[in-house]
Amino acid sequence: MSYTNFTLDIDADGIALVTWDMPDRSMNVFTEEAMLELNAIVDKVASDASIKGAVITSGKDTFSGGADITMLQKMLSKFAADKAKDLDKATKALFDNAGYMTGLFRKLETSGKPWVSAINGTCMGGAFELSLACHGRVAADSDKVKMALPEVKIGIFPGAGGTQRVPRLTDQQQALQMLTSGQTLSPQKARSMGLIHEIAEPTKLVETAKAMIKNGLKPVAPWDEKGFKLPGGPVYSVAGANLWPPAIAILRRETYGNYPAAAAILKCVYEGLLVPFDTGLRIEQRYFTEIMQTREAAAMIRSLFVSLQELNKGARRPAGVPETKFKKIGVLGAGFMGAGIAYVTAKAGIPVVLLDRDMDAAAKGKAHSDSLISDQVRKGRAKPEDKDRLLSLITPTADYADLAGCDLVVEAVFEDSGVKKDATEKAEAVLKPAAVFASNTSTIPITSLAKNSARPKNFIGIHFFSPVDKMMLVEIILGKKTGDKALATAIDFVRAIKKTPIVVNDTRGFYVNRCVLRYMSEAYKMLIEGIPAPMIENAAKAAGMPVGPLALTDETAIDLAQKIMKQTMRDLGDKAVDPKQMTLINTLVDTHGRFGRKNGKGFYDYPQKPAKKKLWPGLKDLYRQLPPEEVDYEELKQRLLVTIALEAARVMEEGIVTDPREADVGSILAFGFAPFTGGVLSYIDGIGAKKFVKIAKGLQKKYGGEFKAPKLLLEMAEKGETFYERFDPYARSEAKKAA
């Protein structure tokens, strides 16, 4: 039999080498076809008396990314379509489909022939579950080898035996930590946990795997042998009593009950370890079927896997524009932001010229990269030669002539129109005609800045978030005259530095900052109402936000919030800012000198480490405090999410963001909008436009006009539409192809 996705070669010793190498894919993934082929190979190995055992490895640089998540999406779509006709039948079909991979791996494990997984690169999800079902596991001694069961990060969990095999191979505490966090393991860590057996030189990986079979590897999993005992002892033991109650409490503390998949992992492990292995697999399959039906799973799979991948692959890139291969990038301004942009550019292997007013300032910017990469070397995440290579790519300068030959220049100078005008004119004087000029601005409209350019078609906004090396999102802002070449080049650059691009039309605050400012503003209102600051911060975290709005204001700086408010009033009039909120910020900055984390005093106090930050006690003296029992805590959570979502809906109505994928992914990557919802628009879609509008009207009646639903939402509520129906990104893609 011939195979499309695998090759099967039997050597003179009777050992089969199964090489996974899917055509037309950069990475192997489990598709229906791949699983059917592997099933046939398992049958072949088991039935052929001349085959002594099998080694499975990859023909690519990576082993496998696991299951094709779009396959799961199809399962969910079919379930959604069928459940209206017959819920029981649809659920049974979902259960059976969810169990196919489980059955395949168990068949391999009990086939009577020894199997060894030879892991030569990234091995994630279902691929690592396949490896765990093999009787032996060997990983290459390489930085490229990373193993994980990361499914919880997209709202599901390892449902092909992962929750049963991991805690039977390692102690339950390490198993729970790995499974509930999606922790990535190095070969050394995996071996110390007992999840792999050997680490081999990359060139001897298959040879080492075959040697395990030659040396008499038993074709029986530990849990299938009589007398098997769990590492670390049974659930009902002293060790179990010390582990499980705190584990449940820690999960609650970390997730606030917002992630059903994480809770299901604990249930699977706890219940599964009390019963025989095959019963444990059945328990896992039932919980997996349950989790697959949750709103959280559907939303997170769509936004954090499918949409994220599509955007990373350039879903919004104009068709027909040749891809830019960057030979040289210029960065104007070597401050914290510019230095960060230079670092990520050099890290991507692209030469970068870092320009500032004098060589001392430019050299200081390069020193920032030295500090960042040195920290990586110290932590073992980079090698000394990586540091030398990165720093050799950064050229500090004070001479604009050094920008000659740049394909793209990113301006990150002081947020002042005059300073930006001067930088633009000096840079364009030496740039080649085809070069693109990008401004990294967070407040000034790109269309107005483009007036300083002699070639506005090649002028675009590229808005990074701080710190650049850690924040994964980049907003690309189109001016009125920005051309396709500039957009394509900007997207190519963002992809080259391994960030996620979203495309935004020009407006004050663009997309992210408009939403973030609403989040902060609502917290200021709550303080003024007398709601205790700890309740505000805790409500935000319980709602799913990673950082409370007051802590976020401290991170971005309270005096910056003051500047933005004053600029808004100058541009739009005094009524554009709530005077009570202006008074609050002025009091903090002007009266108490509290600027935020940068001067150790903001809404929080920042003592020297290792002491942790704590809310400033003086906050409770600024306004009369409401007794906590008089505050509706659930409503606080709702207000913080709804105010952001309403602003996102306004942005869609105004045509600032046109693709719901970008709105959702952008909200999660930029400011951590409750990831379990799938993002701002998925949050509204999940509630339903009609119900959401009703909630907004109730909040408007109590708290004011910022909760007024835009006409777009009212119309969607009347028609029963979702954002993904009304602004279907795939319909637009198909229309482009047809054109």
Does residue 197 have an active-site annotation? no
| Run of H or E including 520 | helix 512-529
| Catalytic residue from among 135, 197, 463, 592 | 463
Of the CA atoms within 13 Å of residue 647, those in its CB half-sphere come to 23
Strand order in the sheet with 53-58: 6-10, 15-20, 53-58, 115-119, 136-140, 198-200
Between the alpha carbon of residue 556 and those of residues 105, 511, 562, 621, the distances in Å are 49, 17, 11, 24
Helix (H, G, I), strand (E, B) or coil at 88: helix
What's the token pair of residue 681? 């628009």
Distance CA 677, CA 281 (A): 28
What's the token pair of residue 573? 């009039």
Query: Residue 145 in contact with residue 122, Cβ under 8 Å?
Result: yes
What value, to the nearest 5°, has the Cα angle with vertex 599 and ends 597 and 605?
55
Q: Taking Cα atoms as reference points, which of 671, 673, 677 lies closest to residue 471?
A: 671
Distance CA 645, CA 682 (A): 9
Pairing of strands 147-148, 459-464: unpaired
The letter for the amino acid at 13 is D
CB under 8 Å to 74, separation ≥6 — which residues?
none
Of the CA atoms within 13 Å of residue 322, those in its CB half-sphere come to 4
Query: Residue 185 in contact with residue 147, Cβ under 8 Å?
Result: yes
Query: Residue 525 in contact with residue 662, Cβ under 8 Å?
Result: no
Pairing of strands 352-355, 184-185: unpaired
Query: Dihedral angle at the C-alpha atoms of 629, 635, 637, 638, nearest 10 degrees?
Result: 180
What's the token pair of residue 22? 């899917």
What's the token pair of residue 577? 């800012």
CB under 8 Å to 552, separation ≥6 — which residues?
516, 519, 520, 671
Q: Which residues sit opposite 502 in a β-bridge?
A: 475
Q: Taking Cα atoms as reference points, which of 681, 26, 641, 657 lies closest to residue 303?
A: 681
Distance of CA 706 to the CA centre of its chain: 29
Distance CA 514, CA 644 (A): 9
| Run of H or E including 644 | helix 633-653
Helix (H, G, I), strand (E, B) or coil at 344: helix
The letter for the amino acid at 185 is L
Query: Residue 127 in contact with residue 226, Cβ under 8 Å?
Result: no
Between the alpha carbon of residue 105 and those of residues 94, 210, 259, 689, the distances in Å are 18, 20, 27, 43
| DSSP 3-state percent helix, strand, coil across the chain (nearest 5) | 55, 10, 35
First to last CA, the chain: 42
Q: Taking Cα atoms as reference points, which of 57, 167, 77 lies closest to residue 121?
A: 57
Q: Tally Cβ neighbours within 10 Å of residue 546.
A: 14
Of the CA atoms within 13 Å of residue 290, those in its CB half-sphere come to 14
Query: Residue 15 in contact with residue 113, Cβ under 8 Å?
Result: no
**Catalytic residue list:** 463
